[in-house]
Every structure is written in C-alpha cells, then in structure tokens.
Amino acid sequence: MASIFTKIINGDIPCYKVAEDDDHIAFLDINPNAKGHTLCVPKKEVDKIWDMDKEAYLNLMDFSYKVATAIESSVPCERVGMTVIGLEVPHVHVHLIPLSSMKNATFQHKVSLEKTEFEDVAKRIGEHLK
Ligand code: AMP
C-alpha cells in the first residue's frame, strides 16, 4: 500500500508544500515541533534511509540543504536542526526543525498552528529558496 507521503506526492491528499523538484518534495509537518518544521521526502518510496542507494541519499541531502537554508533565512530561530526517524511513516523523510531550544528537538513538545499560519510559513520559506 502506498505510504501517506506517496499519497501526498501523487496529489491524493493535501499538504502545505514548500518546495519540489523532479525527485523530491518538501512540505510542512502537520504536527510540528516548531513553526516551519518541514519534511524533505524523496518521491521514490523507500522505508529506511540507509536502504537508499548512495546517489539518491546524497541528492536528498542536497535538496534538504536548499530547504534548510531557506528556512534559516525566513523563520526566526537559533538554528535549523536535522533529524531522521521514520518510526511513524515508513517512507524516508528528513525533518528540518527551526530550533530555539532543546524542547523543539524532542518531538514531545508540539505547537498548534492555524491553517493560515501553515500557509504563510510555507510561502515564506518557498520565497527564500535559491
Ligand atoms: P516519523 O516517521 O517518526 O519521522 O514521523 C513522521 C512525521 O510525519 C511526524 O512528525 C508527523 O507529524 C508527520 N506527518 C504524518 N502525516 C503527515 C501529513 N499528512 N502531512 C504532514 N506531516 C505528516
């Protein structure tokens, strides 16, 4: 069965899209640790990051770099953290999280955002992509 992220990639369910290229998509995490928490996802569905072939992994890191630097330029924070977990969604994704303190990195402290806040921050990050 297709992962929930494949359904997003195919346009079957909505997302707050930040960036896209031929092989990747970035969209906001729906249950964010902090405003601007973004997921970078390869379009090819692979469960675990270390099962990706090396070239696809490096391409994902390159895409994540572009998105992370756009987040850093557009979302107030001390720095942008990067985490890979995958316990909830078995489709490789890189979490990019604007960090102001350790609690933003814990996945135990969530922020609640209005639809318009998701839309605004996704747009703002997108405008800072180089
Ligand atoms: P994990 O697999 O543990 O790295 O966590 C998966 C992440 O995906 C969680 O932070 C979820 O909030 C996020 N997530 C799950 N479904 C969606 C969705 N439909 N749109 C955006 N983010 C999602």
> What are the distances in angstroms from CA 70 to CA 4, 13, 47, 67, 75?
25, 25, 26, 5, 8
* From 24, 93, 95, 128, the catalytic residue: 93
Q: What is the mean pLDDT of the chain?
A: 97
Pocket of ligand 1 contains residue 10 by CB under 6 Å: no
Is 93 considered catalytic here?
yes
Q: Work out which ligand 1 atom sits closest to the CA atom of 33.
A: 10
pTM: 0.98
- What's the rounded Cα separation, in Å, for the pair 67 and 40? 8
Per-residue pLDDT, averaged over 2-29, amounts to 98
Query: In the structure encoding, which two tokens stand for residue 77, read together?
Result: 């924070």
Confidence at residue 1, expressed as pLDDT on a 0 to 100 scale: 87
Confidence at residue 107, expressed as pLDDT on a 0 to 100 scale: 95
Confidence band, pLDDT 50/70/90 cuts, at residue 29: very high
Pocket of ligand 1 contains residue 72 by CB under 6 Å: no
Q: What is the pLDDT of residues 48-102, one digit of tens each?
A: 999 999 999 999 999 999 999 999 999 999 999 999 999 999 999 999 999 999 9
Confidence at residue 122, expressed as pLDDT on a 0 to 100 scale: 98
Q: What is the pLDDT of residues 120-130, one digit of tens each?
A: 999 999 999 98
Query: In the structure encoding, which two tokens stand for residue 64, read together?
Result: 């994540």
The DSSP code for 114 is: -
Burial of 40 (0-12, 13-18, 19+ CB in 10 A): buried
Distance 53 CA to ligand 1 centre (A): 23
Confidence band, pLDDT 50/70/90 cuts, at residue 14: very high
Residue 40: half-sphere exposure toward Cβ, Cα within 13 Å: 29
Pocket of ligand 1 contains residue 87 by CB under 6 Å: yes
- What's the rounded Cα separation, in Å, for the pair 17 and 24? 11
Confidence at residue 116, expressed as pLDDT on a 0 to 100 scale: 98
Task: Return the best residue to mutate from 3, 39, 40 for the ligand 1 pocket (most ligand atoms within 8 A of CB).
Answer: 39
